[in-house]
A and B are shown apart, each in its own frame.
Chain A
Amino acid sequence: MSVASQPVPAPAPSAKEAGADERTGGVRLIVRLLQRPELGALLGAMAVYALFATVDATPGHRFSSIAGMQNWTDVASSYGIMAVAVALLMIGGEFDLSAGVMTGTSGLLLGMMITRYQLNVWVGIVVVLVFAAVIGAMNGLLVIRTKLPSFIITLATFFVLRGVDVGVTKLLTNTVRFDVSDHAPGFASAQAILGSTFLAPYNFQDAVLWWIAITIIATWVLTQTTFGNWIFAVGGDANAARAVGVPVVRTKIILFMVTAMSAGLVGIMVALRFKGIQSGQGVGQEFFYIIAAVVGGCLLTGGYGSAIGASIGALIIGFAQIGIIFAGWESDWYYTFLGVILFLAVGVNTVVRRRASSARR
């Protein structure tokens, strides 16, 4: 990689494309790789994995075993599903600080419907997702209508929901927890799909499969579909997008709805898995989603990023959280570690953005 600074022409890896313009001799493979938003995250993940595999103090090196993998994928999946949704929203140029608390609100709503009103679990799931979609649409509409930064609007939503979560739970149960009865109709089938485990001796969480599926779908949408093109456009330059006929308002509102519905899904999974949910569930997690998305290459200013990158970002969070425990360190260092990772990622992203938005000639 030191070749770049030398005047001697390096052998071009993509010789087939050469011949169009003698000044550059085609686009080098390395350059093309460096253009990928998730590359930095991938290298970072490898380094973090290597670090915690080395400092692992458990007998039998649990971190690098399959049992360890079960541990860190469990953590990563709970952040990952949301990180992907938040990444799409960030690429679309907006934030959602209510994404964390929304997981709690959704789980509590499901618990309330199942335990107090004896609804079928599947009906409850549909109601929760519709409710989440409405909250997301409200976030989006408020952002569009008021023209205020989504940071402020969703911060308000965050606090409103946080209060409602605790207030309503206390009002109805006199505790801070909603139990989800496993005798409820439809509970067994719902839990099997959303809150159970697979791969018998190791017992990976179902959420891991959901996480992988959602990452693949989001990547497909982002890179291969018209809507994905619109997401990049509304985040990159909403006025330019509007000028060529992209429905900017619709695109942004859908992104807010998708984020809230993903939070609904995560809340449902938590409630079913633990047969109950705490009223403070999800509070503070929105920052982990944003960290994962940024570490994965999303620009805070929008218009650039990737879903795979956000998933890798979530994976790094999983490595760090489990790795620090296995290393026998004080677990509070976890936050410091994530802070440093975030710093590094933002540094790399800034360079990328400067490269991408300044003229080459």
Chain B
Amino acid sequence: MNDSKKVIPLLEVRNVSKYFGSVIALRDISMQVNGGEVTCVLGDNGAGKSTLIKILSGVHPHDDGELLVEGHSVHFGGPRDARAAGISVVFQDLATVPLMSIWRNFFLGSEPTLGIGPARRLDIGFAKKVMREEMGKMGIDVRDPNQPVGTLSGGERQAVAIARAVYFGAKVLILDEPTSALGVRQSGIVLKYVVQARERGLGVIFITHNPHHAFPVGDRFVLLNRGRLMGSFAKSETTLAELTQMMAGGEELERLSKELEKMATEPELEQVARELAQEAGGKPG
């Protein structure tokens, strides 16, 4: 996993480990994020995805290894440091406040103001204008800036959070399971925004446990399992089937398919068992 390109990556993780007491949450993780690329971090529950995000976004400090932003080694003291370095996280459900209007959500925590002293106030006109423009860039026409975010669809809510992160200078955008709570259509919409962010030159880290969502938009794939790096591939080096198989752990899928086969009295279940066996890598059982 040495540098294959001469370009300095926007964000680089080098042999990073993280311990919580005696628990090894992450061991020896390395990955690179380049501008204009989507790096997918795949892993099942408990693989260490959340820990990795928290290190990248400054919530937890890393214990071993190195974190490099545009080639410079950094130690984040908190989320503000990470944001200042251009790393923004869009959390799945923590993205927005439903009862607040779109423009208030957009600028929440970084409000534009006019005037000084006691006359200092929100620049509401500016906020609404910018919000409209930025949402427009994502292909969403906001009719009423005062509309509460809660009345938007799940995909649009993610779009607000993404547009906000991009506007506030995010160079690296971390999307934490953006599709996990969404239906098929809404997931598709979010994937569209992921591609849009990439087109605008951002380095996108797309965290998911769904390879079917990751594969179509990803340029690189980083697989985690039980806190370890299982593999790191460019898109040309792998296939959707391979990713799926590695993610679930080939052996486990094989075992599952065997068990299902034993229980299978119905043809449908047999079919599922066969598919599992296939996904487990086509190795002779």
Q: Is the CB of B108 within 8 A of A241?
A: yes
From known contacts A27-B144, A224-B122, A360-B151, infer whether A245 and B80 are also in contact, taking CB-CB under 8 Å. Answer: yes
- Residues on A facing B (Cβ under 8 Å): 17, 20-21, 24, 26-27, 32, 35, 220, 224-226, 228-230, 232-233, 236-237, 239-241, 243-246, 299, 303-304, 353, 355-361
Query: Please, which residues of chain A bring their CB within 8 A of the CB of B96?
Result: 237, 240
Take A229-B122, A232-B104 as given contacts and tell me if A17 and B143 are in contact as well, using a CB distance cutoff of 8 Å. Answer: yes
B97 x A233 contact (CB < 8 A) = yes
Nearest Cβ in chain A — how far from B195, in angstroms? 23
Give residues of chain B (82-123) contacting chain A, Cβ–Cβ below 8 Å: 83, 89, 91, 94-100, 104, 107-111, 113, 120-122
Interface size, chain B (Cβ < 8 Å):
35
Whether B109 pairs with A245 at a CB distance below 8 angstroms is yes
Name the contact of B98 in the complex, choosing from A237, A244, A245 (C-beta under 8 A): A237
Using Cβ atoms and an 8 Å threshold, which residues of chain A touch B143? 17, 20-21, 24, 26-27
A359 close to B97 (CB less than 8 A): no
Contact partners of A24 in chain B: CB under 8 A: 143
Q: Which B residues from 124 to 183 make CB contacts under 8 A with A?
A: 124, 141, 143-144, 146-148, 150-154, 164
B148 touches A241 (CB 8 A): no
A21 touches B148 (CB 8 A): no
Cβ contact of B94, chosen from A21, A230, A240, A359, cutoff 8 A: A240
Q: Decide: B94 and A356 in contact? CB cutoff 8 A.
A: no
Inter-subunit contact A361/B122 (CB<8 Å) = no
Query: In the complex the two chains form, is A243's CB within 8 Å of B91's CB?
Result: yes
The minimal Cβ–Cβ distance linking A166 to chain B, given in whole angstroms, is 40
Residue in contact with B153 in the complex, picked from A237, A243, A299, A361, CB distance below 8 Å: A361
Inter-subunit contact A359/B104 (CB<8 Å):
no
Closest 6 CB pairs of A and B: A244-B109, A245-B109, A357-B150, A236-B97, A226-B111, A303-B99
Nearest-Cβ distance from residue A239 to partner chain B, whole angstroms: 5
- Which of B80, B95, B107, B121 is A240 in contact with, Cβ under 8 Å? B95
A245 to B110, CA, bound (A): 8
* Cα distance A228–B97 in the bound complex, in angstroms: 14
The answer to whether B100 and A303 touch across the interface, beta carbons within 8 angstroms, is yes
Chain B, Cβ-Cβ closest to A302: B99
Contacts of A229 in B (CB 8 A): 100, 104, 107-108, 111, 122
Find out whether the CB atom of A243 lies under 8 angstroms from the CB atom of B94: yes
Complex: A20 Cα to B143 Cα, angstroms: 7
Taken together as a complex, chains A and B put the C-alpha atoms of A236 and B105 apart, in Å, by 11
User: Are A244 and B108 also in contact (CB < 8 A) when A21-B141, A233-B97 are?
Assistant: yes
Are B151 and A356 within 8 A (Cβ)?
yes
What separation, in Å, do the CA atoms of A360 and B143 have in the docked complex?
Answer: 13
* CB closest residue in chain B, given A23: B143
Contact A237 B110 (CB under 8 A): no
Beyond contacts A241-B108, A244-B164, A359-B151: 19 other A-B pairs, Cβ-Cβ < 8 A, are A20-B143, A21-B141, A224-B122, A225-B122, A226-B122, A229-B108, A229-B111, A232-B99, A233-B109, A236-B97, A236-B98, A240-B97, A243-B89, A243-B94, A245-B110, A356-B150, A357-B150, A357-B151, A358-B150
